[in-house]
A and B are shown apart, each in its own frame.
Chain A
């Protein structure tokens, strides 16, 4: 047998860059870095203004016309696309109400009214539509909001996917309240209202492609009552945000950048349910990047942290609230994680679509 020839490893071989940004990829909808680039480089180029560019989940309208009995109007809008439409712990209807209710609540406002747009695909089952509308009605009752305007469009079969729902929410925040992703400050404690990643795993499982069963249910829930109780207990809340697409890590990187601060998380304090952690281990996913639809991250001055946690734990959606980290100083926006082993690593935004590992 002749000796095989092995390659000379001296000669470099380098992959070629791809032309970026020519078309929309699925990762542009992931809520991570690609989404942010699309918003900043494409949408804000044409539609940008001071309020939109603030980059919060909702807009605080502080002008005279929108003032109402000593309060400020807050508006937010959100499109909802989920497959399948109904999943353990929720459905697109509950999601469409809670998503917008929560976005309004993240500026410390109480949502009052919603509008809703329904884009229906030819052939979609009216029975299923009714089931989803009943769930929307339940969620509205729970959040104490009303849908005051709605619109319906139907596309030809194949031109959309069953049902898309867009909702807009209007609410009011007490005058002078200034809760914003730009207001995190060195010394703040970082709190989270409960365990992370359940929505992401529940939806993946409902798609039927996990190859195993788990009992994980989506956490889809309206958080406006929790936020009100929190703000009543601790008037000096600095920032609130719901870690939806892109998960906790992406949300905290956004806030760190908006506020110009460094955040240090303590891995062993971050609550993650065992079935979610196990599913992540099997799939090679990081729970810090999984979507949540009923959780809020809270920045409060350290001295108010215990009061804030106590107030959150009084609400059923905050029963497992935890302190997970702190704002350590000023920077261009860094998120660090102290691991359970005492080592430290950088956390970044989710880049594009989250992909399971191969082996």
Chain B
């Protein structure tokens, strides 16, 4: 990543020009959802919402990978990590997410061997270096993390690393968009699609969604100018009554995406029904291991009990994740629920909408 790119797409001049164009293009109220938590974070970090006309409401979507990882998957993760001779590995963000009674951080404090890795391939390497331990990787994330997880499975198979397995919990964006658009209280009129997901998957998948729900979808990047460009293109479509898939991030995304990465995903995974925290079961919205790779499924390796996983409580994470409520409308926000003691997952991750609101937009009453 070059600093020139960063400086260019962050320049105040370009950003303000785009904000002015958005103002000039907007004649009526519009609700636009940025799906990706990374974009929510960037919008609030740069204060881009302050540059938009009052008619435009941004709805923060469910695209925070740790926020939507199901309580059930977290409970399995905790159970596996407590088994003897297990090293449980995860992306760092996941460690603080509360399960029903504990988080991975709590469980580590009780003595479980839980380690942060930056890549699933590091977990395979760890497995090779510790042949007397079972190394389990918590496979969470969207289409962005799936290729490297698939590659780690293939790498483990080729090198006969039999003490490596994954806890499959990956989720897919398009089925979540279907779920949001079919919701009776849906307010979303246009989507900003996540640029990095599209870098992997392309955007051909979104064309039937745009057509059948008559909703504009704009592939959007993560820098201030990228985000405003995406919003501008969405507003122009809405104002003109168009509903197309457009690409505001052509420097990183092509319509077909990255075919090698897609092949890797398809070789190892197949779509399965999956629970989303705060949302519910979305059909064919997860990636499960294909039959041939089920040997790498940690759920088959350890004796696990299915525990009741109910989430009563103060927090309105479910409504936040569905874009129905703003984090600051939650009675617990900033009081009982803070990043240090989160009640809900969106307060945990830097990509979670609540954490982004807490960090960047908190108004002290």
Contact = CB atoms under 8 A, between A and B. Distances in A.
Partners in one complex: yes
B312 A16 contact: yes
Nearest to A36: B340
Contacts of A345: 44-45, 47, 359-361
Please classify the interface of chain A as helix (H, G, I), strand (E, B), loop, or mixed, using the class held by over half of its residues.
loop
Contact of A9 (B100, B105, B279, B340): B279
Interface in B180-199: 180, 182-185, 196
A274 B4 CA distance: 11
Interface in B14-40: 15-16, 38
B48 interface: yes
B77 interface: no
A359 B12 contact: no
Interface string B97-108: 010111101101
B96 interface: yes
Interface in B321-365: 322, 324, 336, 338-345, 349-351, 358-362, 364
A339 interface: yes
Contact of A14 (B279, B283, B316, B362): B316
Interface residues of A, number: 56
A34 to B, nearest CB: 5
Interface stretch (A20-28, A87-95, A184-192): A20-28
Contact of B144 (A26, A33, A359): A359
Residue in B47, B310, B338 whose Cβ sees the most chain A Cβ within 10 Å: B47
A352 B339 contact: yes
Interface residues of B, number: 91
Contacts of A46: none
B284 interface: yes
A241 B210 CA distance: 54
Contact of B282 (A7, A15, A16, A358): A7
B46 interface: yes
Nearest to A356: B92
Contacts of B128: none
A341 B51 contact: yes
Contact of A7 (B71, B109, B279, B350): B279
Contacts of A355: 92-93, 95-96, 116, 350
Interface string A1-39: 000111111111111111110011111000011100100
A23 B183 contact: no
